[in-house]
Each structure stands twice: as C-alpha cells, then as structure tokens.
Amino acid sequence: MRRIKIFDTTLRDGEQSPGASMNVDEKIQVARQLKKLGVDIIEAGFPIASPGDFEAVNRIAKEVKGIVVAGLCRARDEDIERSAEALAPAEQKRIHTFIATSDIHLKYKLRMNREQVIEAAVKAVKKAKQYTDDVEFSAEDATRSDWDYLCKVTEEVIKAGATTVNIPDTVGYTIPQEYGELIEYLMNKVPNIDKATISVHCHNDLGLAVANSLTAILKGAGQVECTINGIGERAGNAAMEEIVMALKVRGDFFKADTGIVTQELYRTSRLVSKITGMVVQPNKAIVGANAFAHEAGIHQDGVLKERTTYEIMRPQDIGIPSSKIVLGKHSGRHAFKTRLEELGFSLTEEEINRAFERFKRLADQKKYIFNEDIEALVSDEVLRITEVYQLVDLEVSSGTKKKPTATVRMKINGEEKEISVSGDGPVDAVYKAITELTDSKAELNKFEIKAITGGTDALGEVTVILEEGGHTVRGHGSDTDIIVASAKAYINALNKLALKNLKS
C-alpha cells in the first residue's frame, strides 16, 4: 500500500467559502480536531491576507504540535517573509508558494511572459528555502496550462528546492481521464520528478473534484489537498472524507491508503459544519444524515439479514455510533456520559455537568432524545464563550388578535435588567427587547431556523449573523421552544461581538 499524504486546507481554501469565515479561536478548535483526525499537513491560512489570518497561523503553529503546519503565500518576497514569521513557532512547518502558469492567467492577470513566471517561481522557492526545508510550489491553473511548459516549471522549481509540487485544477475544468493523462505526462517527462512529491488540489465546479483526485492517485500523485465536507471557493474542493473512504473501501483497487483515523471523520464534519454554519446536505456521501439510512422495504430486509447487501461501509468506520441505548428523562449521568464518549466528545467534568442539566430539562420536554439533540446541546457547551450577556427569563404573549409582546430579563455584566417590548411577531418582539437591554447597534444579516430531529417536540436550532463596526459574527441557539432558541442565538452572537470589541 502506498501512503498518500492528506493536506487539509479547510482553514484556508475552505474558509474562502462565502459566509464560512472563522475567528481565531474557532480555527484553533478545528485545527486540534484535524490533528486528532490524523491529517499530515494543515494549511492554516494565508498570513499576509489579514492580521486575523496571520494570528491564526501563528497560534496554530504555537499550539498544535506533532503535525506539519503550512502557510500560503504568493511568489513574492513580502508574502514569504510574512508566512515564515507566522510559522516560526511550529515544530514542523511548510511554506506553500504559488504562481499561475496558464496563458490566460499570464496574459490577463499577471501580465508576465512564460520566462518571467519561471524566474519568479524559482526565486520564490529559493527564498522559502531560507526558512524551511519543506517547501511546496503550486502551479495555479495547471490544468489549463501548456503541458510542456508545465513540465519545465515543475523541473525548475524542483531544482530550486521544492519538495512538493502541486498540480491544481484551480477552476474545476478538467475531467478524470484528462487529469490522469496530465499527471502521467509529468511523471514521465520531468527528469527530476522523483525528487518531489506530486500533489493535487481539485475544485468541484463540474462535480468531479473527488474523481479527479482519485484518478491522479492512480497515476502517481502522493499528496491530496482537500477540505472537510468539501467546502471551498465556488462549488468547493475535493471532500476529504470521500477520498479517504474511497481509498479505504477500495484498497484492493487503488493499492493506496492514508493515515486518517476514519472514526473521527463524522465528528470533524459536524464540528466544521457547526462552526461555519454550512449545513451538510442529507444525501452527502459518507457524512450526510442519510448516508447510512435505509427506507425502502427491500433494503431494510436485506440489511437486517446481512448488512453487506446494501452497505459497503460500517457506520462505525467513520464514527457514527451504533449504540441502541435510548436516552430519556429516566437516564442517569453515567449513561449520558457514555453516549458523549461514543459521539466523540471529550469534556471536562464541569462541561459534562452543565450539559447533563440541559439534557434533563430537554428530556422532560421530549419523549425521545436523538444523537443529534445531544450533539446540539453539548456543542453549545464546547463552543461556550465569555458571557457578557445572559438570558435569565423570557415570556412571550401573542395571538391572532393580540400584539406580540416579549418580557425579557437578562443579566448584563452581573446586573439583572428587565424590559417588555412589542413587535411584529414574537421573535421580533424578543429581539427588540434584547436590543434595548443591551444598547446594541448590531444589524441582523441572517436568521435561520431548522429542526434538528423530526416531530413536533423536535429540538430547534437557530443561527443568526450579526454585523457591527466592521465585525461579522455567527450565533447559535437550540431549544424545543423556538422563541427561546432564537433568543439564545441572538445573545450568543452579541457575546461574540462584545468579545471582538474588547480585543479591538
């Protein structure tokens, strides 16, 4: 079995998805989970892009050990120097530099000729080698580049010291057969190709990112660049979980595997979805809610008789628990703690106690408690931030002939305050009351409700996006009472804004 390196770019390319930006603390949390997942390289960000990106890369380099941390930079001295500065504390660091090689990019974006691009690429690699032996070079828009020219660029950057050369399908243009032929062409035509690892980075504009990546592995690529849940620019990147499980399930065909701890895939997927607010579609391969669900009678009959009739993977292989224990209001703390461990949560005793109290309140309201319910309420504890604002009590009155009115009592910096406000609807009244109590000037950009499980007693989850003073934050709240969940989400976002303003 060949060992394929997994280069995770969730924190860099994945974060470029519209609306998926993460703050530094959230990036640290994801990075720690990626370490637990077993990725080989974390691309932590683009240090010169912003002070926030620099801080994220620098903190991950300091705090996440035992893994290669990479920073992206253009083929410019100032970018490379900034990346080297951010990566300085890392035990293992990689500088990832890039420049476009397609004629369309040279003509319209770079306004450089081919020789100038080679010169810039070689110079950048040599500059990066001053800070680390681990240097990756990417030929942006490689799949629309002239193949012989791409061979020449690859040869020259390897001579200059690049230990990894990435052949990205930047705009998701290629198809598997063509991409495989390109990788094979490079492997045969570049004389010093054995001195570097060939990497692939595929976008999903035609829905072929995973297929292209797997084809490249068949042709000799030794590293795959991908993201959790396939998030990324436009239609996204190759989904890590799909590539990893394709290699695992069809090891007989690919003769290759990764070092990924597959039992952590589902947990990682849920974490990234929770933090970014990007919901995983139910029919998403590997980690979707329906990936291991069977509704058709024939399928159910087959699976009950022999699982492999309709399942090519076990749900346990990706971290979906198989326990049949039903949790309810009579369940004890021990059973609750065991289920948390099965779901992949590692909490302190204090966090477990707080989560258990919320669980008991929820169990009094619902007949059945699902794993998704537990994940939602526990995630609130895991992602808990310093609370300037706390909800103490909430009462709402409304009806067909009654003006909706909300009475909200909050604790603000330890002092309790209460107000009653009317609105166009119960949620509007609640939000107006909270706004008056907190003197908030934040603008509500998004309000989204979803039921986490089925039934009229389902736990509802609310997500809001607030903007104030150039800061944009995402708030989450969950409760069987959707009005309460709405209040929790709004207050959670206000606490995040307060934390940002404190740091500013």
The Cα angle at residue 357 between residues 355 and 358, in degrees rounded to 5: 65
256 forms beta bridges with: 2
What tens digit of pLDDT does each residue of 271-330 get? 999 999 898 998 899 998 777 664 344 544 565 567 677 788 888 999 986 433 446 666
Query: Mean pLDDT throughout 108-115?
Result: 97
Query: Mean pLDDT throughout 65-74?
Result: 97
Q: Is 503 exposed, middle or buried (0-12, 13-18, 19+ CB in 10 A)?
A: exposed
Please give the C-alpha separations between residue 236 and each of 20, 128, 497, in angstroms, as whole numbers: 12, 28, 28
What residue ranges do the domains of the chain occupy?
A: 2-276, 321-382, 389-503
What's the pLDDT score for residue 326? 46
Q: Is the pLDDT of residue 13 over 80?
A: yes
The answer to whether 44 and 93 are in contact (CB under 8 A) is: no
How far is it, in rounded angstroms, from Cα 15 to Cα 8?
Answer: 12
The answer to whether 66 and 35 are in contact (CB under 8 A) is: yes
What's the pLDDT score for residue 379? 63
What's the pLDDT score for residue 408? 96
CA-based max dimension of the chain: 81
What's the pLDDT score for residue 384? 56
pLDDT band at 61 (very low <50, low <70, confident <90, very high): very high
Residue 107 identity: K
How far is it, in rounded angstroms, from Cα 480 to Cα 485?
Answer: 8
Query: Mean pLDDT throughout 86-112?
Result: 97
How far is it, in rounded angstroms, from Cα 369 to Cα 362?
Answer: 8
How far is it, in rounded angstroms, from Cα 227 to Cα 240?
Answer: 5
Phi-psi region of 19 (alpha: psi -120 to 50; beta: other; left: phi over 0): left
0.95 cut: is pTM over it? no
Query: Mean pLDDT throughout 435-459?
Result: 84
The Cα angle at residue 368 between residues 363 and 374, in degrees rounded to 5: 65
Q: Is the pLDDT of residue 474 over 70?
A: yes
Q: How far apart are the first and last CA of the chain?
A: 51
- The three-state secondary structure class of 304 is helix
The answer to whether 71 and 95 are in contact (CB under 8 A) is: yes
Quickly count: other Cβ atoms within 10 Å of residue 380's Cβ: 20
User: Three-state SS string across 10-60, please?
Assistant: CCCCHHHCCCCCCCHHHHHHHHHHHHHHCCCEEEEECCCCCHHHHHHHHHH
What's the pLDDT score for residue 323? 35
Q: Is the pLDDT of residue 18 over 50?
A: yes
What's the pLDDT score for residue 112? 97
Query: Mean pLDDT throughout 447-471?
Result: 81
What's the pLDDT score for residue 297? 40
What's the pLDDT score for residue 433? 96
What tens digit of pLDDT does each residue of 330-363 get? 667 776 787 787 777 777 888 888 888 888 887 7
Query: Mean pLDDT throughout 98-105?
Result: 98
How far is it, in rounded angstroms, from Cα 464 to Cα 494?
Answer: 10
What tens digit of pLDDT does each residue of 221-251 get? 999 999 999 999 999 999 999 999 999 999 9
pLDDT band at 122 (very low <50, low <70, confident <90, very high): very high
Find out if CATH 3.30.160.270 is the number for domain 389-503.
yes
The dihedral over CA atoms of 320, 360, 352, 42, expressed in degrees to the nearest 10, equals 40
Higher pLDDT, 458 or 432: 432
Residue 44 identity: A
449 forms beta bridges with: 462
CATH topology of domain 2-276: TIM Barrel (3.20.20)
Report the DSSP pairing between strands 92-100 and 256-257: unpaired
How far is it, in rounded angstroms, from Cα 281 to Cα 295?
Answer: 17
Quickly count: other Cβ atoms within 10 Å of residue 437's Cβ: 19
Residue 179 corresponds to which tokens in the numbers above?
């991409």
